[in-house]
Structure 1
Amino acid sequence: MLASIKDIIRREAKQFFQLKKSERLWHIPVLASVCTGLPLLVGYSLGRLDFGTLACMGGLVILYLPSTSLENRMLTLLVCAFGFIMSFAVGIAFSFNPYLSALVLGIYAFSVNWLTNYFRLSPPGNFFFVMIASMASCMPFDLLAIPTKVGLIALGTMGGFVFAMGYSLYIVRRYPDKMKDPGIRKRHYTNLTESIIIGLFIAISLLTGHIFRLDNPYWIPVSCLAIMQGLNVVQVGQRSFHRIVGTFIGMGFSWLLLQLNLSTLQICISIIVLQFIIEVLVVRHYALAVIFITPMTVFLIELSRGTAIDANRVIAARFLDIFIGSLIGVVGGWLLHNQKLHRKAERQLRKTRIAILRK
């Protein structure tokens, strides 16, 4: 028993210091940096960085560009762009009540997960839809400002779509061997069970943040979902460990960057560079990517607020959010990959469906 535990620790320690191989082209990190950085620079030039940060979120839609035919690429990105807009609209529409917003976010996460699995959407799958909805649900409620904010998200997605179209026209001819088919569709009841679990834990995560009155409670469901996206129980544990360690190191890196007292333009450029590094690393080593995700989110918070932030407070709050979200995500991930629970849930769902049809 002791020997097996030592072997597991040795294997995990070895994997922690290894970079995974990836077939991802370097073009994607560049595109992601451009699509998120350009709105920031436009916002800076217009003196409205709050607008720039919102449009920046919409630009992340470029990460859903699949390696398929040109038609499928454009259709997928259009649907995902609509999903981004819908996610933000749903989140901010219910931000007037923290408890209602947690419930709505859970239901929305359930729906998004079911749809992304049903249509076999490639990674990052449901992640950014839920992330945007979560962030929007924690924004101050201002009914008159909602159309403007939703429009800014839409502008960001439009920019991403334009860049994706230009890139796709080139890439489908230059790299025809990179075209991939979508994966196997999950069974109906498996998809339904997983979606229920994800929706439940996303709601619990956001509710936890609101109950404890944390500064940025949306990072708890975001961290929870990031952990639950592991392919199995082992990977869920690995991602949790990587996220906590990466955040801890990233906090130190963030603190050092904040001591430089960078100008607003320098912060915008730093975000662009960090986005590129993150997209290069996230498919190779999750913990390394999280190290750079931490300062990028801190910078985005500073830009969105428009005022200098208390570095120590923001960094400490960020670590607490990640830690709580990771713990909740580990529990949710264990349930998500518990085959015995899945079989019981599927049997119960079938019985319920049959009982309803007989009435």
Structure 2
Amino acid sequence: MAVTVKHHVREFFRVGPARRDHVVATRCAVSVGLPLLILLAAGRFDLMVFAAFGAFTGIYGRGEAHGVRLRHQGRFGVLILLVMFAGALTSAAGAGPWGIVFGTTIVAGLWSLAVNYFQLRPAGVIFFTFGYAAIGSIPLTTPLWQAMLTGLASVLLAMLIGISSRLHPAWRTSMAAPERRILTPGQWREFGVEAGANALAALAAGALATTVGLGHNYWAMVAAVAPIAGPSLAQRVNKGVHRILGTFAGVAAAGLLLAPHPAPWVMVLIVIVLQFAAEMFVLRHYALALIFITPLALLMTELAAPTDPTALMVDRAIQTAIGALVGLSLVYLMHQRTLREKTRRRLRKHQDPEA
């Protein structure tokens, strides 16, 4: 046991090797920064949140060939636009905190099936739950068609930047169509289990956070679904622990950045730098990346709907702890289910060797 604990502690402080991360980081920073700078110049702060979520398209297919990246980004783009549309309708309807909880629960379950079916990477439903709940939680002060057009333009710009390196002959990669994938009943069953876990995580964390009475209950739901996607128990637990520790450090960093009450144009520039830094480390050390991701998300929230920064940071820290603990509890239950299934299969094989 002591050896295992030492191993995990040692692994926590290990930063993975760089794999041309600066290329992806630059691509993502431009995808996020360019729309925000355009909207800043136009004075349209009300549209920034839609541009920002659309720009997350650039994160997908980061290490893939051009054809695969374009397909992944296109699929993510459609899914995130649907999320933004649903979030905007939820905001317009004035659904309130509990409406956000139930809506996010539905998004977490259904979009989990879509992510697994399309094999999107990064896996999981963090961006979709965050997108729906964040947009649904702020007042819709702009015409819906303008919001959706902004989101669509941001998605298309990220896709264009993602495929732009094909202009250089030495960087061109395959555009061939993928082989058709046939899913087995077992794979669909696993997709359903993960979708149910995501929905339950969002519901439990959101209900608990809303009952406690803190604002921004969606931070708890985002943190709860974060550990669900992962190939093993150890990786899921590590992701949950990284989420908590990285978020606390990121909240402190956000406090330092927001303390001088920066002007909007300064906040946009900080967002661009933070996006670059986050993509530099997200695959190498999740907690370290969250030191940049957390203030990035908080600054985006401040740009969309300015509030008391101190209250925002307190909410983020406490809600993340609540959500991550809920997510880790579900990860443990999923692991126990897997162990029981393996035991049943071994027993059946022992009783009937020819089965």
Per the normalisation by structure 2, the TM-score is: 0.84
TM-superposed deviation, 1:141: 5.8
Query: Of residues 23, 44, 60 in structure 1, which corresponds to 2:56?
Result: 60
Residue 338 of structure 1 is matched in structure 2 by 336
Matched residues in 2 for 1:342 and 1:42: separation? Answer: 54
Q: What is the Cα deviation at residue 214 of structure 1? A: 2.4
SS at match of 2:17: coil
Do structure 1's residue 328 and structure 2's residue 293 form an aligned pair? no
Q: What is the CA–CA distance in structure 1 between the aligned matches of 2:301 and 2:261, rounded to whole Å? A: 15
For 2:277 and 2:10, locate their aligned partners in 1 and report how far apart those are by CA, in whole Å. 23
1:93/1:137 contact within 8 Å kept:
yes
Report the Cα distance in structure 2 between the residues aligned to 1:277 and 1:100, rounded to whole angstroms.
34
1:92 aligns with 2:91: no
| SS in structure 2 of the partner of residue 94 of structure 1 | helix
Q: Are the aligned partners of 1:197 and 1:335 in contact in 2 as well (CA < 8 Å)?
A: no
Query: 2:171 aligns to what?
Result: 174
Aligned to 2:281: 281
Aligned residue for 1:318? 316
Report deviation, 1:8. 2.1
Q: Is the 8 A contact 1:251 1:295 kept in 2?
A: yes
Whole-Å separation in 1 of the counterparts to 2:239 and 2:319: 15
Q: Which letter maps to 1:7?
A: V
Q: Indicate yes or no: 2:22 matched with 1:20.
A: no
Deviations along 1:246-299, one digit per CA (max 9) or x if unpaired, are 122222222222233433222111110010000111100011111112221222
Alignment-derived partner of residue 153 in structure 1: 151
**Contact 1:66–1:76 (CA<8 Å) still a contact in 2?**
no
Tell me the alpha carbon deviations over residues 286-325 of structure 1, each in whole angstroms, 9 at most, x when there is no partner.
Answer: 11111112221222222112x5x43322211110111111
1:327 is aligned with what amino acid?
L
Q: How does 1:172-321 map to 2 (within 5 A)?
A: 173-174=170-171, 176=173, 187-305=187-305, 307=306, 309-321=307-319
8 Å Cα contact 2:76-2:120 kept in structure 1? no
Q: Which amino acid is 1:31 matched to?
A: R
2:348 is aligned to none
Q: Percent identity?
A: 24
Query: Which string of whole-angstrom CA distances, capped at 9 and with x for unpartnered residues, describes residues 171-224 of structure 1?
Result: 8x52649x9x89996712111122112112222223333333322111111111
Measure, in 2, the Cα distance between the counterparts of 1:158 and 1:60: 11
Q: Which amino acid in 2 is paired with 1:238?
A: N
SS at 2:226 equivalent: helix
| Cα drift, residue 25 of structure 1 | 4.1
**Bigger CA drift: 98-107 or 52-61?**
98-107
Q: CA deviation at 1:339?
A: 3.6
Cα distance change, pair 164–320 in 1 and its aligned pair in 2 (3 A): same
RMSD: 3.0
In 2 relative to 1, CA 276–184 (structure 1 residues): closer, same or farther, beyond 3 Å? farther
> Which SS does the other structure have where 1:229 is aligned?
coil
Summarize the Cα distance change of 1:205–1:145 in structure 2 as closer, same or farther, 3 Å threshold.
Answer: farther
Shift of the 343–90 alpha-carbon distance from structure 1 to 2, 3 Å rule, reads: farther
- Alignment correspondent of 1:351: none
User: Which whole-Å CA distance do the structure 2 matches of 1:199 and 1:343 have between them?
Assistant: 22
Contact 1:205 / 1:224 at 8 angstroms: preserved in 2? yes
Which runs of 5 or more residues in structure 2 are unaligned?
Answer: 346-355
For residue 138 of structure 1, report the CA deviation from its aligned partner: 2.0
1:334, 1:72 → 2: CA distance?
Answer: 33
CA distance in 2, matches of 1:101, 1:57: 18
Whether 2:72 is the aligned partner of 1:76: answer yes
TM-score, reference length from structure 1 = 0.84
Following the alignment from structure 2 to structure 1, what is the Cα–Cα distance between the partners of residues 216 and 60?
A: 26
**Structure 1 Cα separation of the partners of residues 34 and 63 of structure 2:** 24
Q: Which amino acid aligns with 1:174?
A: W
Tell me how far apart the structure 2 counterparts of residues 272 and 133 of structure 1 sit (CA, whole Å): 22
Q: Are the aligned partners of 1:103 and 1:203 in contact in 2 as well (CA < 8 Å)?
A: yes
> For residues 244 and 212 of structure 1, what CA distance do their matches in structure 2 show?
19
Counterpart position of 2:353: none
